[in-house]
């Protein structure tokens, strides 16, 4: 058996060689953390490269995603089917799963996409929550694993670290273990340039166990990991390392952080490390040593399968981990709404839907960033998920929007959980990059974003979203819904649960009149836009509105029709879902925009930028292209000209009447 150092040197060699071949990438981090990672992967991590999706595997998150060659080397060496040595040779090339940063959708064994510093760790917090929750549901026999993270100085400097570490400490997530690559170097140079806090004391103050070790000695790292494993608190393991270790003239400096070392330095490093093999060649003894390490948990997995086969929960557990959800709840619920249409805010309508959904779908875990009573995210039966009851299904995230969103990504990616969480729509900016990562990773997370316009009233411009709806619609893969009433809200919830990616539900604070009063044979909101009311005379005008403005558009439609002007009223809860409909459907709802016989008018209490896509340049767009103001909602709607009284004459004028 080769020494741990020799095993680690295989990581160093592959990192140097792949970055050199790509002439791009980050060799320093993998070379510095190679010994620590070797300790983790050969002695502690429970995984089986032959079954990357084994539900009870430990989760490993490389939060310092720029060091992607570390995880690629580890997956290759321990025996995952991919990446092959050829994949590694093509590191950072279009047809390689070894992308610049680890992408969970490109390679099994990559649990989450990382690269935006700090977020990997915050995502891992969600994975650790998911593990404890599912453990409380299914017991130790089926769910009993850890979440390991490698984080750099950057991950621990980012603001999200405060949110994530605070949440993990509060929830006492003892199965979360973070290895800190304490190399005292970032891109700009020494960490002395920008940091002098005591990172260990900060984590200790947040309820973490902390331990320090020589990160260049895998036996010492292993001992520290044993200590971390034994502790009941989340652990921060400070690994003192040398960035770019092995590169004789560059190690310990930021020169190794993010650039190829160069042929000369690599030749010197090979000598220094006693590594005589050519680029991308792994000697047999090392290859075997790594394969044996990779096969370590095969027996554990076989035993787990035996327990699963014997378990009465087997079918339920497997279906849940596959993420299968039914929507049997939807039709009876909508029938009940239609029988007695309520005039409620859509945030309240969401709560009503959630009463039904959280009963029907056990996988849902709700929460809010300290706006539970405003976001209406907690249903009556939901108990808090906390350190005394991981079986609870409601998380008080505290005022941590970014931490909440990243944790929800982690829960969704872990599997077995469908997380939803609330805040005000305007604070979607606080967690925007995590929403973006939900979308990139196709994580089924539902963002309940209430107080979705000036309609929130008195709290004023800091709290009134203007650009938010449109800017969220810009994120690929993200489904953005803004329902108009209780029926649409239920439909949007159903669509969000049926989608394998993330959704935002933008919901009103203020009460809204029921708009949908007749039964439909399909989920109309899922089509993005649909005709709520058809023109009775020849169609001259199409009114497009979303959410709370559908009510205003309905009033305008009535007035135009009274003048004999045929007007379609189109409710458009989701522009992005509408864009995905087939051409015939889109053409039916919104005939060719170059058809100047029909005037298209959009009404949404937010920026008008972007609505030309649906109105054409000759159409009319009503919205708000400035910041809001503090006043009661009806006064604001009048002030910003979003009323039937203000809009109808402008349409008539445009029609030349
Ligand atoms: C949110 C975010 N900001 C900035 C970057 C760009 N970036 C990538 S690595 C890095 C330096 C990180 O330093 P450290 O974590 O110590 O990594 P090391 O240099 O030790 O490998 C920066 C600023 C990023 N990836 N994510
Ligand atoms: Mg560093």
pLDDT tens track for 478-519: 999 999 999 999 999 999 999 999 999 999 999 999 999 999
Residue 247 has pLDDT above 90, yes or no: yes
Percent of the chain with pLDDT over 90: 98
Q: Is the pLDDT of residue 128 over 80?
A: yes
- State if residue 183 touches ligand 1 by the CB under 6 angstroms criterion: yes
Mutate to test the pocket of ligand 1, among 119, 187, 253 (most ligand atoms within 8 A of CB): 187
Nearest CA to ligand 1 atom 8: 66
pLDDT at residue 120 greater than cutoff 70: yes
CA angle 282, 285, 291 (to 5 degrees): 80
Q: Does 595 have pLDDT greater than 80? A: no
pTM metric for this prediction: 0.98
- Identify whether the C-beta of residue 580 lies closer than 8 Å to the C-beta of residue 479: no
Q: Is the CB of 119 under 6 A from ligand 1?
A: no
The mean pLDDT value for 228-248 works out to 98
pLDDT at 231: 98
Of 485, 450, 454, whose CA–CA distance to 624 is shortest? 454
Burial category of 194 from C-beta neighbours within 10 Å (exposed 0-12, middle 13-18, buried 19 and up): exposed
DSSP string, 393-454: -EEE--S-HHHHHHHHHHHHHHSS-EEEEEEEGGGGGGGHHHHHHHHHTT---EEEEE--SG
Most ligand 1 atoms within 8 A of CB, residue of 64, 100, 117 to mutate: 117
For residue 433, the ligand 1 atom closest to its alpha carbon is 1
Catalytically active residues, by annotation: 401
Mean pLDDT across the chain, nearest whole number? 98
List, for residues 272-320, the tens digit of each pLDDT value. 999 999 999 999 999 999 999 999 999 999 999 999 999 999 999 999 9
* Residue 121 beta carbon below 6 angstroms from any ligand 1 atom: no
- The answer to whether the beta carbons of residues 423 and 431 sit under 8 Å apart is yes
pLDDT computed for residue 56 by the predictor: 98
Ligand minimally distant from the alpha carbon of residue 151: 1
| Ligand 1 atom nearest to 157, measured from its CA | 15
Cα 227 to averaged position of ligand 1 atoms, centre (Å): 28
Rounded to whole angstroms, how far apart are CA atoms 11 and 273?
12
Whether the per-residue pLDDT at 113 is higher than 70: the answer is: yes
Where residue 592 falls among pLDDT bands split at 50, 70, 90? confident
Ligand 2 centroid–CA 118 distance in Å is 13
Query: How far, in Å, is the centroid of ligand 1 from the Cα of 476?
Result: 25
**Residue 276 CA to ligand 2 centre (angstroms):** 28
Q: Is the dihedral of CA 575, 577, 580, 582 positive or negative?
A: negative
Ligand 2 centre from 261 Cα, in Å?
Answer: 17
Distance 244 CA to ligand 1 centre (A): 15
Backbone dihedral region for residue 171 (phi beyond 0: left; psi -120 to 50: alpha; all else: beta): alpha
pLDDT surpassing 80 at residue 171: yes
Q: Is residue 243 lining ligand 1, measured as CB closer than 6 Å?
A: yes
Ligand 1 atom with minimal separation from the 29 CA: 21
Confidence of residue 558 (pLDDT cuts 50, 70, 90): very high
Amino acid 580: pLDDT:
98
Ligand 1 pocket: which of 26, 113, 186, 251 to mutate (most atoms within 8 A of CB): 186
* pLDDT surpasses 80 at 657: no
Task: Please tell me if the CB atom of residue 186 comes closer than 6 angstroms to any atom of ligand 1.
Answer: yes
What would the mean pLDDT of 134-138 be, rounded to a whole number? 98
pLDDT tens-digit profile of 616-647?
A: 999 999 999 999 999 999 999 999 999 999 99
Residue whose CA lies nearest to ligand 1 atom number 18:
186
Who contacts 607 (Cβ-Cβ below 8 Å, separation ≥6)? 466, 467, 469, 470, 623, 624, 625
State the pLDDT at residue 596: 78
Ligand 1 atom closest to the Cα of residue 254 is 19
CA pair distance 501, 53, nearest whole angstrom: 19
Helix (H, G, I), strand (E, B) or coil at 185: strand
Q: Render pLDDT for 406-451 as a digit per residue (tens, 0 to 9).
A: 999 999 999 999 999 999 999 999 999 999 999 999 999 999 999 9
**Which ligand 1 atom is at minimum distance from the Cα of 155?**
15
The total of other beta-carbon atoms located within 10 Å of residue 63's CB is 31
Q: What is the pLDDT of residue 593?
A: 66
**Ligand in nearest proximity to the CA of 66:** 1
Task: Give the ligand whose atoms come closest to the C-alpha of residue 122.
Answer: 1
Task: Tell whether ligand 1 has an atom less than 6 A from the beta carbon of residue 492.
Answer: no
Tokens matching residue 12: 């160093």
* Angle (CA) 79 21 191, round 5°: 85
435 lines ligand 1 (CB under 6 A): no
User: Which tokens belong to 464?
Assistant: 């009134």
Tell me if residue 63 falls in helix, strand or coil: coil
In this predicted structure, the answer to whether residue 152 has a pLDDT above a threshold of 70 is yes
Does the beta carbon of 28 sit less than 6 angstroms from any atom of ligand 1? yes
Tokens of 553: 């558009």
Q: What is the mean pLDDT of residues 370-379?
A: 98
**CA separation, residue 444 to residues 405, 421, 465 (Å):** 12, 12, 24
CB of 115 sitting under 6 A from ligand 1: yes
Taken in order 363, 369, 374, 375, the sign of the CA dihedral is negative
């Amino acid at each position: 058996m080769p020494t741990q150092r020799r095993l680690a040197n295989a990581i160093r060699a592959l990192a140097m060689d792949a970055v050199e071949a790509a002439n791009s990438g980050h060799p320093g981090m993998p070379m510095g953390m190679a010994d620590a990672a070797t300790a983790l992967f050969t002695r502690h991590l429970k995984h089986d490269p032959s079954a990357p999706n084994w539900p009870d595997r430990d989760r490993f998150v490389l939060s310092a995603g720029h060091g992607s060659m570390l995880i690629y080397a580890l997956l290759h060496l321990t025996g995952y089917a991919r990446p092959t040595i050829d994949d590694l040779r093509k590191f950072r090339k279009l047809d390689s799963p070894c992308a610049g940063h680890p992408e969970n959708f490109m390679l099994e064994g990559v649990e989450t996409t990382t690269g935006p510093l700090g977020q990997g760790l915050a995502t891992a917090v969600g994975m650790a929550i998911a593990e404890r929750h599912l453990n409380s549901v299914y017991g130790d026999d089926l769910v009993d694993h850890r979440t390991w993270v490698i984080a750099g100085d950057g991950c621990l400097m980012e603001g999200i670290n405060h949110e994530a570490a605070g949440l993990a400490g509060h929830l006492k997530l003892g199965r979360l273990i973070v290895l800190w690559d304490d190399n005292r170097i970032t891109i700009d140079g020494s960490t002395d340039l920008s940091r002098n806090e005591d990172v260990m004391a900060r984590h200790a103050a947040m309820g973490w166990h902390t331990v320090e070790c020589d990160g260049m000695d895998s036996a010492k790292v292993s001992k520290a990991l044993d200590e971390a494993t034994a502790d009941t608190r989340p652990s921060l393991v400070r690994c003192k390392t040398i960035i770019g270790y092995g590169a004789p003239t560059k190690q310990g400096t930021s020169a190794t952080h993010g650039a190829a070392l160069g042929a000369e330095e690599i030749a010197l490093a090979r000598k220094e490390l006693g590594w005589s093999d050519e680029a991308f060649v792994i000697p047999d003894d090392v290859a075997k040593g790594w394969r044996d390490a990779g096969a370590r948990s095969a027996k554990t997995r076989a035993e787990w399968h035996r327990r699963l086969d014997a378990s009465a929960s087997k079918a339920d557990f497997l279906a849940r981990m596959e993420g299968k959800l039914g929507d049997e709840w939807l039709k009876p619920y909508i029938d009940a709404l239609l029988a007695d249409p309520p005039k409620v805010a859509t945030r309240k309508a969401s709560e009503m839907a959630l009463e039904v959904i959280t009963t029907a779908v056990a996988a849902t875990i709700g929460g809010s960033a300290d706006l539970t009573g405003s976001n209406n995210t907690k249903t009556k039966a939901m108990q808090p998920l906390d350190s005394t009851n991981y079986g609870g299904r409601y998380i008080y995230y505290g005022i941590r929007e970014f931490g909440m969103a990243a944790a929800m990504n982690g829960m969704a990616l872990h599997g077995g959980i469908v997380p939803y969480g609330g805040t005000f729509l305007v604070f979607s900016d606080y967690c925007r990059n995590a929403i973006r990562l939900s979308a990139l990773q196709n994580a089924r997370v539902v963002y309940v974003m209430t107080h979705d316009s000036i309609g929130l009233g008195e709290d004023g411009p800091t709290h009134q979203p203007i650009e938010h709806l449109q800017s969220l619609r810009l994120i690929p893969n993200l489904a953005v819904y803004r329902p108009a009433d209780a029926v649409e809200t239920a439909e949007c919830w159903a669509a969000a649960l049926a989608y394998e990616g993330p959704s935002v539900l933008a919901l009103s604070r203020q009460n809204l009149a029921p708009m949908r009063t007749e039964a439909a044979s399909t989920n109309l909101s899922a089509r993005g836009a649909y005709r709520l009311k058809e023109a009775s005379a020849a169609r001259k005008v199409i009114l497009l509105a979303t959410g709370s403005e559908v009510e205003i558009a309905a009033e305008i439609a009535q007035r135009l029709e009274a003048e004999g002007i045929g007007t379609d009223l189109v409710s458009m809860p989701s522009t992005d879902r509408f864009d995905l409909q087939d051409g015939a459907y889109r053409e039916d709802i919104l005939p060719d925009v170059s058809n100047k016989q029909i005037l298209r008018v959009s009404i949404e209490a937010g920026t008008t930028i972007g609505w030309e896509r649906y109105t054409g340049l000759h159409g009319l767009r009503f919205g708000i292209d400035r910041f809001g103001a503090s006043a009661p909602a009806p006064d604001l709607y009048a002030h910003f000209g979003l009323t039937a009284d203000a809009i109808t004459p402008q349409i008539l004028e445009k029609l030349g009447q």
